[in-house]
Amino acid sequence: MSIKVVVAGQGAFGIKHIEALKNIKDVEIVSLAGGSLDSTRDVAQKFGIPHFTTDLAESLAQPGVQAAILATPTQMHAKQGIQCMRAGKHVHIEIPIADNLKDAEELVKVLLRTGEEEGVIFLPGTKLAGADRHPEGIALRTERETILASTVVNAAGLYADDVSKILGGETFTIYPCRGEYAEFTPAKRALVNALVYPLPHASGHGLGVHLVRTTGGQVWLGPTIHYQERKDDYENDREPLEHFAESARLLIDGVTIDDLRLSGSGIRAKLHPPSESFADFMIRRDRENPAVVQVSGIDSPGLTSSLAIGKLVSEIVAEDS
Strand partners, 28: 4
Closer residue to ligand FAD, CB minimum distance, 88 or 197: 197
- Angle at which helices 101-117 and 74-86 pack, to 10 degrees? 20
User: Least Å distance between CB 142 and ligand FAD?
Assistant: 8
Question: CB of residue 159 vs ligand FAD: minimum separation in angstroms?
Answer: 4
**Smallest separation, CB 267 to ligand FAD (Å):** 5
Q: Which is nearer to ligand FAD, 123 or 250 (CB)?
A: 123
Cα separation of 210 and 166, whole Å?
38
Nearest residue to 268 (alpha-carbon basis) of 214, 310, 308, 228: 228
Q: Which residue has the closest beta carbon to ligand FAD?
A: 302
Cβ at position 309, least distance to ligand FAD in Å: 8
| Closest distance of CB 3 from ligand FAD, Å | 19
Q: How far is the CB of 225 from ligand FAD (least distance, A)?
A: 9
Measured from the Cβ of residue 233, the count of other Cβ atoms closer than 10 Å reads 13
Residue 223: cis peptide before it, omega within 30 degrees of 0: yes
| DSSP H helical ranges for 129-253 | 160-166, 241-249
> In the beta sheet, which residues pair with residue 282?
296
Question: Which residues form the interface with ligand FAD (CB under 6 A)?
Answer: 127-128, 155-159, 163, 179, 223, 266-268, 298-304
Is the CB of 54 or the CB of 142 nearer to ligand FAD? Answer: 142
Q: Which is nearer to ligand FAD, 1 or 121 (CB)?
A: 121
CB of 216 to ligand FAD, least distance (A): 16
Name which of 79 and 238 has its Cβ closer to ligand FAD: 238
Buried b or exposed e, range 165-179, using 16+ CB within 10 angstroms:
ebbebbeeebbbbbb
Contacts of 141 (CB under 8 A, 6+ apart): 128, 129, 130, 131, 132
Residue with Cβ nearer ligand FAD (200 or 301): 301
44/267 with CB nearer ligand FAD:
267
Cβ neighbours for 200, distance < 8 A, ≥ 6 positions apart:
206, 207, 208
Q: DSSP readout, 20-79?
A: HHHT-TTEEEEEEE-SSHHHHHHHHHHHT-S-EES-HHHHHTSTT--EEEE-S-HHHHHH
